[in-house]
Amino acid sequence: MTTGKAVFVHSPLLDQLSYPPQCPFNTSRAGRLRKILCSMGLLSGSDKIEAVPEPASREILEKFHSVRYLDALQRAAEGKWGLEFLYMGLGTSDCPVFPDMYNYSVLACGATLKAASLILDGCAGVTFNPSGGYHHAGPEMAAGFCYINDVALACLALAEAGKRVLYLDIDVHYGDGVANFFYDRKDVMTISFHQDGRTLFPGTGFADEIGEGDGKGYCVNFPLPVGTYDEAYKKAYEAVAIPLIGTFNPDVIVLEFGADALAGDPLAQLRLTNNTFADVITSLLDFHKPILMTGGGGYNIENTVRAWALGWSVLCGAEAHDAAANIGLGGVMLESTDWSGGLRDRQLSVTQSQQETVLPTIEATIKAIKANIFTLHGLKCRFK
């Protein structure tokens, strides 16, 4: 466990600003999560506190996004349309134009930057902004419900402070906006586990995309086959992420915790339970580094909120102490009768067909990553 307080970063205003109702991205998830955490006593005590963010400043935003793009976002939100906005990804089905678009995005980004500053100031050991994780946004492009790339800006702020940053993305979609920005740098290593781009947006993030120049070997992509389940994911994560994080030896870890890799998400086709995410967070804590965690995707709202509640409980060290008391809270606190066994998901059965199709692909990708990346970091390539 890292030292320092666990800080939950959230503003009530984020609950009031929203995407259009027909959009799959639901901003109410953070507020619903906070309500559950308060009910469970997971935001109280001297070691678990809350922080309220301010909107990210224009000066900070311009370190990643162009002036032209930021001006377009503001004008579009005000109803001042320009044809060039379409070339910036605005006005599409996944990045609609709506009045709250700019204000929500800069406040959500401010929350992630607040989380980073708390770590840099030594005020927190772990932080969580559930309203963050907009990893698809580019310098002049909105994509995948993402307008302002808060996680890239947070990684940049940490790197500018002289920190070696490990960015781990477990959202089901490849974190292309972050990976592309740091593609030629070695002070920020990006590792992404995501559904194969041949079957899911954004269509990139393949194992042979490993960075260039100084960044060669510091971009690590693990595309996962449809139907990937807990055991197969764990095999991939332990074979690739654990040794690379260890040899990179970051000063800070940034975790984009999209929950759309969970079984039952309407926009993806993996078959994970939230137990896998809890195991990932536990493994990161074992490195004894500060951790900045954000939300991300997750379009089955109840499953996403439960996964984030479990993730926070593990991150702040509460789950081990409260495990017995949490039995039944999956139903009671989440106001659902679907599952009453606590925050952790029930185990899912794995078919023989899943094993026969998923495991060989996982093993082949492990072998490719070890051959292409491990050797660049002086790691031995034992192909098992």
| Catalytic (active-site) positions | 136
Residue 69: in which H helix or E strand, if any?
A: helix 67-77
Angle (CA) 66-18-34 rounded to 5° is 110
Helix (H, G, I), strand (E, B) or coil at 281: helix
Instruction: Answer whether the bond into residue 202 is a cis peptide, omega within 30°.
Output: yes
Separation between Cα atoms, residue 54 and residue 106, nearest integer Å: 9
Exposed/middle/buried for 245, CB within 10 Å: 0-12, 13-18, 19+?
A: buried
Separation between Cα atoms, residue 11 and residue 131, nearest integer Å: 9
Q: Considering just the CA atoms, what is the radius of gyration of the chain in Å?
A: 20
Distance of CA 225 to CAs 138, 172, 183, 250, 346, Å? 26, 11, 24, 29, 22
Token pair recorded at residue 159 = 């790197």
